[in-house]
Chain A
């Protein structure tokens, strides 16, 4: 923090002012409460609760400023912390990968299920990272491609009885096609305008899914979607010879299916990661990043900006489609309700919180956001409040995300990391 340490009197005054603001805010919100009684409503006064809140603000502010003023010389500053996060990235990523691979060996069914959910969002985050993080195109309608993928698998499998593995590429392809379709009209748009059009696109897909009843089943969705198979082996307890349990001569347990699904999504997520890491070091990925940095300079260098943008949309959408197909097979049921704007916002929040363009950051953010909300399920209605506060604090402390900074895609000597403040965030 660059703020200058304050004198004790100034700190006291600042804390007092903060407490005053808190009092003004909360006097009616917390201090007064309407309670229903036999003869209408009565006003309950809760001065003690108000006092507690105001006091907490006062003491909190006092401690914060005091720490800043009398911090021991060797205490880590945010800058040093950032540096150590960056250095530890080298071993954190393989550690997480090992942990992810080994998780089903020691975890129970619930944890594996949460793991599947987290990995789905990791994959979505990595897919959106191509569009937002690399190409710098702000996409608020990413859930549309997730929906296209999910409905592709749902409809192909229930209508034509296609298997999961045959439909997966088709779902990706269709989502990629929709990515290009969205890309065309928004080629000339930038920043806020691009964001609004992509948001509308996401809503259009959802509204079509609701209203095209004859094709999509409308609000009822599509149910009885077949589960994925392992080389034709099903996961159920029927005892048929083509089930996993009968083939390997083991007792059937529902956990087997969860473990299988877990490894499927882990594989899909790692595929997304591998392709994006690889593309980053290739001309196409470099052109995306150059586009984020300066579109006009790209054009002056003979780069076809149209094609470059469309490939970013298409490839990002393809991975969204894969994730969607997986979602459909995991749930066994899809309906438009699963593809609301909040999903797009959540995936975008994961990408921004993790650090635009950072693969590790996105994975960590997905773990914290999705795993965290599961962990705090006991807190019920306070869960989202805690979560919102955590997000705000995070963005204030590390405005460029958990893992900011950029590693060069090519270097003559030893690659040096580029500080985040030099890297453009993209204006669409």
Chain B
């Protein structure tokens, strides 16, 4: 059993009178793929937004422990520092690429903090100072590596907005990976993909896990979730209703009830997959 990388404790998020997430606790372990599933409106994306600093939780703690010892309290860290210091990267449910910039430029922007440690160095680079040329070369090399990994090397100089949907999804993952994350949070990466693209995505995620990056995954495509996850957390109405290995979750009557409605306890898990 590996040590927990991310531990969420009693996380609560209220918007006015609406409680989107209530007293949620779960852990994601290092070098594992942890999936967060649940019906629409269960609060999955809210949890993601709390972890990545887009929302400030009403109460509760989110701790990130890097394997080398440093740890961060994400609930009180400024938004951009979560990506920069705590090394949490994310993608978005509705793709957010820099559409008017090329594929390569997208990956270069992702390495902003390596290329420009501070404003002074950024301004010195105007006059050719600060060894910028060398770091830029390294950044292009890293971008090239990831473009090869996601099969987009041939489109490096095309605007990101002109790529087909599936390629945009892969580019967004490559861009997140260029920030050297310890934890990669993916919000429905398989949405809108055809079965072949879903398979490719699963392989890519397994390769990323193999490279030492842990993954937190929101996904509705149960095929992908069941195939690649090491651990599944099921949410419904902002609460955790099940937590365990894919096989355990699949057999949990509460999960089936949440997906198909109460009183349908004789339904098989296969139907739950289809319903999702």
**Contact surface of A with B, Cβ cutoff 8 Å:** 275, 278-279, 282-284, 286-287, 289-290, 293-294, 296-305, 307, 311, 406, 408-416, 418-419, 422-424
Q: A300-B83, A302-B179, A410-B108 known; A282 and B102 CB under 8 Å?
A: no
CB-based nearest A residue for B180: A302
Q: A299-B79, A299-B80 known; A293 and B101 CB under 8 Å?
A: yes
Chain A residue contacts of B159, Cβ below 8 A: 418-419, 422
Does B113 have its Cβ within 8 Å of any Cβ on chain A? yes
Does B47 have its Cβ within 8 Å of any Cβ on chain A? no
Question: Would B80 and A287 count as touching, CB distance under 8 A?
Answer: no
CB-based nearest A residue for B158: A416
From B52, B53, B101, B122, A282 is in contact (CB under 8 Å) with B122
Q: Which of B89-97, B190-198, B213-221 contacts A (4 or more CB under 8 A)?
A: B89-97
**Contact surface of B with A, Cβ cutoff 8 Å:** 52-54, 79-84, 89-90, 92, 96-102, 104-105, 108-110, 112-113, 115-116, 119, 122-123, 125-126, 132, 136, 140, 144, 156-159, 161-162, 175-176, 179
Q: A275-B126, A284-B123 known; A294 and B96 CB under 8 Å?
A: yes
Chain A residue contacts of B126, Cβ below 8 A: 275, 278-279, 282
Question: Would A300 and B89 count as touching, CB distance under 8 A?
Answer: yes
- State A119–B161 Cα separation when bound (angstroms): 36
Question: Would A411 and B100 count as touching, CB distance under 8 A?
Answer: no
Chain B residue contacts of A298, Cβ below 8 A: 109
How near does chain A come to B184, taking the closest CB pair, in angstroms?
A: 11
From A289, A300, A301, A311, B101 is in contact (CB under 8 Å) with A289
How near does chain A come to B82, taking the closest CB pair, in angstroms?
A: 8
From A283, A287, A302, A311, B125 is in contact (CB under 8 Å) with A283
- State A363–B237 Cα separation when bound (angstroms): 58
Chain B residue contacts of A418, Cβ below 8 A: 100-102, 159
- Most-contacted residue by chain B among A282, A406, A409, A423 (CB, 10 A): A282
CB-based nearest B residue for A306: B80
From A278, A303, A413, B112 is in contact (CB under 8 Å) with A303
Question: Would A302 and B112 count as touching, CB distance under 8 A?
Answer: yes
Chain B residue contacts of A284, Cβ below 8 A: 116, 119, 122-123, 125
Chain A residue contacts of B52, Cβ below 8 A: 300
Q: A275-B126, A286-B112 known; A297 and B157 CB under 8 Å?
A: no
Question: Would A290 and B156 count as touching, CB distance under 8 A?
Answer: no
- State A350–B276 Cα separation when bound (angstroms): 54
Question: Would B97 and A422 count as touching, CB distance under 8 A?
Answer: no
Sample of 16 A–B contacts (CB below 8 Å): A282-B116, A282-B125, A284-B125, A287-B112, A290-B98, A290-B101, A293-B97, A300-B54, A300-B176, A302-B82, A303-B113, A410-B102, A410-B108, A415-B157, A422-B162, A423-B99
How near does chain B come to A179, taking the closest CB pair, in angstroms?
A: 14
Chain B residue contacts of A413, Cβ below 8 A: 156-157
Chain B residue contacts of A275, Cβ below 8 A: 126
Chain A residue contacts of B156, Cβ below 8 A: 411-413
Chain A residue contacts of B175, Cβ below 8 A: 301
Chain B residue contacts of A305, Cβ below 8 A: 80
- State A282–B82 Cα separation when bound (angstroms): 24
How near does chain A come to B224, taking the closest CB pair, in angstroms?
A: 22
How near does chain B come to A49, taking the closest CB pair, in angstroms?
A: 49
How near does chain B come to A411, taking the closest CB pair, in angstroms?
A: 5
- State A299–B80 Cα separation when bound (angstroms): 5
Question: Would B119 and A307 count as touching, CB distance under 8 A?
Answer: yes
Chain B residue contacts of A301, Cβ below 8 A: 83, 89, 109-110, 112, 175-176, 179
From A279, A293, A299, A415, B99 is in contact (CB under 8 Å) with A293
Q: A413-B156, A416-B157, A422-B162 known; A311 and B83 CB under 8 Å?
A: no
Sort A-B residue pairs by CB-CB distance and give the 5 closest, nearest first: A423-B100, A302-B83, A302-B84, A293-B98, A283-B116
- State A419–B100 Cα separation when bound (angstroms): 8
Chain A residue contacts of B89, Cβ below 8 A: 300-301
Question: Would A422 and B99 count as touching, CB distance under 8 A?
Answer: yes
Q: A307-B119, A418-B102 are in contact. List 15 more A-B contacts (CB 8 A).
A: A287-B109, A289-B100, A289-B101, A290-B112, A293-B100, A296-B54, A302-B113, A406-B100, A408-B157, A409-B101, A410-B102, A410-B105, A410-B108, A418-B100, A423-B99
Question: Would A409 and B105 count as touching, CB distance under 8 A?
Answer: yes
CB-based nearest B residue for A275: B126
Question: Would A412 and B157 count as touching, CB distance under 8 A?
Answer: yes
- State A413–B179 Cα separation when bound (angstroms): 24
Chain A residue contacts of B122, Cβ below 8 A: 282-284, 311
Q: A275-B126, A282-B122, A408-B157 known; A297 and B100 CB under 8 Å?
A: no
Question: Would A303 and B109 count as touching, CB distance under 8 A?
Answer: yes
Question: Would A297 and B97 count as touching, CB distance under 8 A?
Answer: yes
Question: Would B102 and A408 count as touching, CB distance under 8 A?
Answer: yes
CB-based nearest B residue for A310: B119
Chain A residue contacts of B162, Cβ below 8 A: 422
How near does chain A come to B177, taking the closest CB pair, in angstroms?
A: 11
Question: Would A411 and B157 count as touching, CB distance under 8 A?
Answer: yes
- State A281–B162 Cα separation when bound (angstroms): 22
How near does chain A come to B120, taking the closest CB pair, in angstroms?
A: 11
Chain B residue contacts of A410, Cβ below 8 A: 102, 104-105, 108, 136, 140
- State A301–B113 Cα separation when bound (angstroms): 9
CB-based nearest B residue for A409: B105
Chain B residue contacts of A424, Cβ below 8 A: 99-100
